[in-house]
A = this chain, B = another copy of it.
Amino acid sequence: MPVKKIELDEKDEASLKNRLFIIVFGNNTKLGRRFDIILLWLILASVLAVMLESIPTIGPRNLTFFLAVEIFFTAIFSLEYLVRIWVSPHRRKYIFSFWGLVDLLSILPTLLYLLFPAYRYLLIIRSLRLLRVFRIAKLVKFVNEGQALGEGLRSSFYKISTFLFTVMITVIVMGTVMYVVEGPENEFTSIPQSIYWAIITITTVGYGDIVPQTVVGKLISSVVMIIGYAIIAVPTGIFTAAMVKAASHRKECEICKYANDMNAKYCSGCGVEVR
């Protein structure tokens, strides 16, 4: 068999690469979908293994088992990565694409660990290995509906940035004021720490690890809370308006494809009567 493979002429190889490309990158064929589903379960299983390994009562007692599991998954994902590079028509483009980097990132930590086991920086490498959990990001590829949502977010991206920018400024100003009012003796040890408190408060998370002690501090705190409570309306309003607009049905003109209003009689794009 290997002999035969070597003897494959260029056309056959191209055809094999093409078929593999359709299976590995596409999801329109039956085989392509099956490949995707198997990969999906492998990713989930490998993420689960990483999680289980991190639990103090499970991981340290089964080091050999988890190492074996890890090598198994890394081997599979490495193979997948190499195949993807091989069959890709624009190799460089794939390697430096977002998903190419995610694919690399999900195998790199284990490879480093296996290649340089002699090094004493084991602890740091171990935490690098945790990056394998990023494999979960691969799952996003399987979602199409995400794109619709993404477009909704993108169309209101600039407005949401403005909102976040305003929140940022509010948080910096309020954090500084609280640092002056409460001071280091009440856990507001520095401006960044006070800004951290302001973020906790304005997002209504409210851990309670840093809380105002003075009367003035509580007053300002109340203002920050109510601001946070009221301005949640802003991102919601922006995004909802975008969604409502997207949801409003349109009657497409058969001639110029202009998306007319549902109750239009004449096309707004070319002036011809529409049905």
Which residues of A are interface residues toward B (Cβ below 8 A)?
47, 50-51, 54-56, 59, 127, 130-131, 133-134, 136-137, 139-140, 143, 145-146, 148-149, 152-153, 158-167, 169, 172-173, 176, 179-180, 184, 189-193, 195-196, 199-209, 211, 215, 218, 221-222, 225-226, 228-230, 232-248, 250, 256-273, 275
Contacts and interface: CB of A to CB of B under 8 A. Distances in A.
A130 B180 contact: yes
Tally of this chain's copies: 4
Q: 10 nearest interchain CB pairs? A: A264-B268, A266-B271, A205-B206, A241-B243, A207-B208, A203-B229, A237-B239, A54-B191, A233-B239, A208-B208
B149 A163 contact: yes
Contact of A236 (B200, B222, B237, B270): B237
Contacts of A236: 232-233, 236-237, 239-240
Contacts of A240: 233, 236-237, 240-241, 243-244
Contact of A166 (B140, B184, B233, B265): B140
A252 B230 CA distance: 34
A133 B257 CA distance: 53
B204 A204 contact: yes
Contact of A199 (B143, B152, B158, B225): B225
A257 B268 CA distance: 14
Nearest to A191: B54
A205 B201 contact: yes
Given A240-B243, A265-B268, A133 B201 contact: no
Contact of A263 (B131, B166, B230, B259): B259
Given A206-B205, A237-B239, A265-B269, A51 B191 contact: yes
A188 to B, nearest CB: 10
A40 to B, nearest CB: 12
A208 B211 CA distance: 9
A165 B51 CA distance: 18
A249 to B, nearest CB: 9
